[in-house]
Chains A and B, each alone.
Chain A
Amino acid sequence: MTNTAMRAGVSSSGLLEQPEVDAATSIENAASNAMPASRKPGRAEINGSVIAGIGLVALIALWIMAVRFLRVPPYILPAPEAVLNALWSGIAISPASPKGYYLPLWSTLSNAATGFAIGSGLGLVLGSLMAESRLVEKLLMPYAFALQSLPKVAIAPLVVIWFGFGDGSKVAIAALLAFFPVLINSFTGLRATEPERIDLMRSLSATRFETYRIVKLPNAAPFIFAGLDMAVVYALLGAIVAEFLGAQQGMGVVITQAQAVSDVAGVFAALVILGVLGIALHSSVRRLEHRVVHWAHRGKR
């Protein structure tokens, strides 16, 4: 199977240069179209979003057909139109209205952002201390892994007891989830500094902090951004999980309320919003990374 698929891929990319394309292989061609083109920088990004768009359209088409022809009842899987309606009623509304998505979204986002800032900041500081000192590493690393192995759903009620049903518990759980990926990634990245670069700083009698700031931290930046990329999505997840346990407002509340009245389309609409938000957060971290860690990306070309 893989063999034929590979051969098809190779032959079709070769066929691309020829004007006429065999009708039988045209589908494979469409699929592998992006392969040779993506090697050219600049066009790669356009092709990426085209592929994502085609994928989305295909997914929705499949969804419509599944609901229509397999007769899936709407309380199990609502039709895309119903979800779209629910989305629209939440979006096309005054931002101040409690029925819209804007207020809960803002509440969830601000809690997630605060938690993300606290969690990843703490992760970076502790990761740095662990990377700089074997003593701190030996002292803290076991607890970091113990904390990470605990199911967060199990700690969440405890956090609610400590921080209450207000924003505090949401921020705390978001921070808890954002903490670990940044901790481990910054630790790994800081330790991965080339010894020649450390030697350079030593030969210049640089202080430990200068070596950290000028060499180790930029060196670890690609690692740290990989951690932040995970952390930003985890923070959003943490805030919503905390909202499930009880909150006055937030996207988690929107979901639980829709669930309570069996408004499956409403649940789906909220999930779509959260999914889009996840993609947006991820891509903004990536964009920031490309700007900050420009040398790593240009160097690869």
Chain B
Amino acid sequence: MQAAPSVSRDAAHVRSSARSLIDVRNVSKTYVTASGGNVHALNRVDLKIAEGEFVCVVGPSGCGKSTLLRMLAGLDTYDSGSLALDNRPVAGPSGDVGVVFQAANLLPWLTVRENVRLPLRVGGRRASADPRIDDLLAMAGLGDFAARYPYELSGGMQQRAGICRALARDPQILLMDEPFGALDALTRERMNMELQRIWQANRKTIMLITHSISEAIFLGDRVVVMSARPGRVLADLDVPIPRPRSFDTIVTHPGYARLASEIRGLLNAQEGAAHD
């Protein structure tokens, strides 16, 4: 994947060559709100993500991108279309998928190690192997904080623990729902660097949802732009910037400004449409 500098907009030939691990076809979803109204959340969404690929999804607030992620995690149902992970239809939460939630979502009554170990001791698993957990914590720079409680950690450290927890079962797929949205800009950039490093080290297939255009371009092999509600895929753009990327060098890359303004243009048009 690293050798995919093609600037071509339609990179379908690249994608079809690799095994697609996430396969969303024609998925629509309407849900009923508490007040009885119908919300058409997703409209005929198509999305393929190949093994080892890092795809970022951006879109206006409430465009259903989180709903899409929840469906892939098996937490939400869909009305029509098909959803498959590794060629198996999604029928509920799977051990092969790690989910990173907004704002870390650690359990405050468990230590950092216990939080990260949680996936290994529920759902019919009986964990005995702790070294893996310690390796994960060390990789995320949390080795010295394993015995601490979440409230003793900074926001960035908490989210790193959240990522470690999602990796505990060594899943093939990582689904990340605006994981760094609650962090300040500098911490966020540092976390982006960390995540890139983690991803390059173990090559999970990642779908990350974000509001930040720069984060999407920095992290993604591709950036998928979604429309305002009902959400559908507006554009699927390749990021032609070689890795490892850094925030210092990425902005000087000619592809960066072009891609950023294209995404911004698409999103602004959506904002306008939503307000009409």
Binding site for B on A (CB under 8 A): 196-197, 199-207, 210, 214-215, 218, 221, 293-296, 298-299
Contact = CB atoms under 8 A, between A and B. Distances in A.
Interface string B112-152: 00000011001110000000000000000000000001111
Contacts of B94: 205
A220 to B, nearest CB: 11
Given A202-B93, A214-B107, 16 more contacts: A199-B99, A204-B118, A204-B119, A204-B122, A205-B94, A205-B95, A206-B123, A207-B123, A207-B124, A214-B118, A215-B107, A221-B109, A295-B108, A295-B109, A295-B149, A299-B108
Summarize A's interface: helix, strand, loop or mixed. Answer: helix
Contacts of B152: 298
A188 B92 CA distance: 29
A298 B149 CA distance: 10
7 contacts: A196-B101, A203-B97, A204-B123, A207-B123, A207-B124, A218-B107, A295-B151
Contacts of A199: 70, 75, 99, 101
B122 to A, nearest CB: 4
Contacts of A197: 105, 107
A62 to B, nearest CB: 44
Given A214-B107, A218-B107, A203 B93 contact: yes
By Cβ-Cβ distance, the 3 closest A-B pairs, closest first, are A205-B123, A206-B122, A295-B108
Task: Bin the interface of chain B by size.
Answer: 20 to 34
Contact of A203 (B75, B108, B109, B149): B75
Contacts of A296: 108
B105 A203 contact: no
Contacts of A202: 74-75, 93
Contacts of B241: none
Contacts of A299: 108, 151
A214 B75 contact: no
Given A215-B107, A299-B151, A200 B123 contact: no
Nearest to B109: A218
A291 to B, nearest CB: 12
Contacts of B93: 202-205
Contacts of A196: 101-103, 105
Nearest to B94: A205
B73 interface: yes
